[in-house]
Structure formats: C-alpha cells, structure tokens
Amino acid sequence: MLTAKLSAIDLTLLRGERCLFEGLEFALNHGELLLLQGANGSGKTSLMRVIAGMLSLESGEILWDGEPVSRQRQSFHGALVWLAHQSGLKDDLTLVENLRFERALRPQSSVEPEQVFVRLGIARLKALPLRSLSAGQQRRVALARILLADVPLWLLDEPFTNLDRDGRRLVTQLVEEHLADGGLCVLAAHQDVEISATVKRINL
C-alpha cells in the first residue's frame, strides 16, 4: 500500500444527508488505470474532486508518494491535470490564447503544440474563438490541454462525452500511450471502456 504512487485510505464522503461512499480504498501505480464506474449521480465526479483535493472528506486521506495530499497540495497539483465536466476554457478566447494561459498553471511538455493540434484534428480552428466551435471540438481543445501538460497523473471525468467515434478511439489511444509511458490515470465513465492496460475498478 505504501509503495503505491497514488492511494486512498478509508475515504468517506457525505454530501448533505447522503453518504456517497464509505471506507473506500484504492492504490494506483505507474502505468495503471483506475476506472470509476457507476450510474449518474453515484458520486464519480465527487470522488474525482476529492482526489483533486477540492472536497474535504468526512474521514480518510489521499496519499501521493505515501504523503497526504493535504500536506503537499501545491506539488501534487503540479503533478496532475484534470479534465472536468466543464471545459474550463474561455469562450471568448481562441484555442491558442486559452492554452497560453494554461502554460502558467502547470508544467508543460516539450511537445510541439502544432503536432497535438493536428493529432486532435483542431489545427485549422486555431484562430477562432471557442464559442464558434461545436461541443465536440471544444472537448478536443480540452484534450489538447491534457496532452500539452507534462504531468504523471491524468484525471478524466467522462472524457468521451460529445466526442464522435474517432474521437472516442483517440481518447482510448491517448490514455493507453500515457499509461505505457508510465503515467497514471483516473477515469470516470458511465459506459464500458476498453483500454488495454492494468485496470482497477471502483463501482460506485
């Protein structure tokens, strides 16, 4: 347990009167995927927010490198990137302007942004404000943010939403590459996900 890169001990989360989960534990190592599954409203996003350090727990602790996340928030946040339900991008700004701001928030990889744009099929949308992009295209821009970050831990909340079949296949590929590269990934999805890697499941 203590050797795991990312682990959780005895997580209990109450939201209002409801107990979303109790005594939840997991341990995740390099190259492993944690799959959060469950119906709508079962607490996938809440667990994701807990891992990101955004929600305070009733009890329990998230550990990164064996150290509680609450005691090393800044360095932990520098090691993760989070694809949330909302894109977190500004409608009025272009793709490039949005991603330029992103550079200030977390370590960036040395990958050429142009290559990432081409791979995600958004290279020709660079000069447009995001509001003129479709929901799926905006999702691809959010994915570009993840690919351009140089961090070991990916938190993906419903990454397949709004994406076409090619897009979904691309996400699967990207996650597999990231895991093969020694990264970690926590992925919440309500449908089945086929990813060839070591997968640990949590059913909420």
Partner 1 sequence: MNDSARTQPGIFYGLVAITRRDLLLAWKRPGDVLNPLFFFAMVCTLFPLAVGPSAEQLTFSGPGVLWVAALLATLLSLNSMFMGDHEDGSLDQVLVSSQPLPLLALGKTLAHWITSGLPLVLISPLLAMTYHMPADVVGVLMLTLLLGTICLSLLGSIGAALTVGLHRGTALLSLLILPLAMPVLLLGANTVSLAADNEMYSTGMWALGAYAVAALSLAPYATAAALRISNE
User: Interaction with partner 1 in 102-161: which residues (CB under 8 A)?
Assistant: 102-108, 129, 150-152
Which of residues 55, 170, 195, 204 is near partner 1 by CB under 8 A?
A: 55
Q: Which is nearer to partner 1, 104 or 127 (CB)?
A: 104
How crowded is residue 15: how many other Cβ atoms within 10 Å of its Cβ? 11
Helices (H), the chain: 44-51, 73-77, 95-102, 113-120, 135-148, 165-180
What three-state secondary structure class fits 154? strand
- Report if residue 86 touches partner 1, rule: CB under 8 A: yes
Least distance in Å: CB of 101 to partner 1?
Answer: 5
Q: Are 57 and 12 in contact (CB under 8 A)?
A: yes
Q: Which is nearer to partner 1, 12 or 108 (CB)?
A: 108
- Report if residue 54 touches partner 1, rule: CB under 8 A: yes
How many Å separate Cα 173 from the centre of its chain?
15
- Report if residue 183 touches partner 1, rule: CB under 8 A: yes
How many Å separate Cα 34 from the centre of its chain?
11
The site for partner 1 (CB under 8 A) is made up of 30, 52-56, 74-75, 77-80, 82, 84-93, 97, 100-108, 129, 150-152, 181-183
